[in-house]
Amino acid sequence: MIVVTGATGQLGTLVIEGLLRKLPASEIVAAVRTPSKATHLGVPVREANYDDEASLVRAFQGADKVLLISGSEVGKRVAQHQAVINAAKEAGVPHLLYTSILFADTTTMLLAGEHKATEDNIKASGIPYTFLRNGWYTENYAQSITQAVETGSFTGSAGTGKVGATTRADYADAAVAALTTDGHEGKAYELAADTPWSYTDLAAELTKATGKPITYENLTTPQHVEALTTAGVPEAFATILADSDRGIADGELATTTHHLSTLIGKPTTSLNDAVAQILKG
């Protein structure tokens, strides 16, 4: 039996859909904070709250594998993930998979700290593990793309750096592959697009797709933080977003490993196709 935490989230829903293409529904469990919101998934549902370790222990009973999809509450994730780890150990889970971040053990990005701590805690638990170190989702750029189509430009602070962003569906397919095939214990997969792209590449792709001239304006990191806070983004999160662009500039969100396309057995989604999906809405 495979248990997927956070199963009503955008990634979790795609993972459940992918698992259903390979396994009977009876072999899949959606572990969610609010079970009434998961009935549409078509699999058994169990309550599992990252802030309630006892609920997690119950949710993991009988599991052969648990996929821990990282929580969304920045600043709380180390403690929440530790509750999952503790529960998995108490329930005797034989294999724990975790959606981490690209190069979690070496990157200097601010966003990576909680992921590295979680990976260290999973290793310390002694539970056999697999780290699915996801890069950026192209969907992260949906708002910038919408803005660019409306105004003719978008901003950032990544310079000429390239990001190995691909669709959320590609990362979901990788999780499904790791959950449904053997030989992944003890491995950390660096997952990103086969062909990384720059923000200038994105502007060119948008120009081609819309027929409107669209440009990318590069800012300094302080200018980027200021632009984001002026737009209403809380300063702490604006700092993380700008630091992520700094990571792109420094090559920390792209990889040539091709772990993702190898796991899913096909090329990752092209920038052209990803942009087309976002533009369709």
Q: Under a CB-based contact definition with an 8 Å cutoff, are residues 47 and 59 in contact?
A: yes
How confident is the model at residue 281, as a pLDDT?
78
Say if residue 74's pLDDT is above 90: no
Q: How confident is the model at residue 68 (pLDDT cuts 50, 70, 90)?
A: very high
How confident is the model at residue 205, as a pLDDT?
97
Identify the structural domains of the chain with CATH numbers, from first to last.
2-134 (3.40.50.720), 135-166+192-255+268-281 (3.90.25.10)
- Residues 6+ away with beta carbon under 8 Å from 158: 198, 199, 218, 245, 246, 248, 249
Say if residue 125's pLDDT is above 90: yes
pLDDT tens by residue, 212-269: 999 999 999 999 999 999 999 999 999 999 999 999 999 999 999 999 999 999 999 9
pLDDT tens by residue, 126-156: 999 999 999 999 999 999 999 999 999 999 9
Our measurement of the distance from residue 180's CA atom to the centroid of its chain's CA atoms, rounded to an integer in Å, reads: 19
Separation between Cα atoms, residue 114 and residue 106, nearest integer Å? 13
* pTM flag (> 0.85): yes
Average pLDDT over residues 113-125: 98
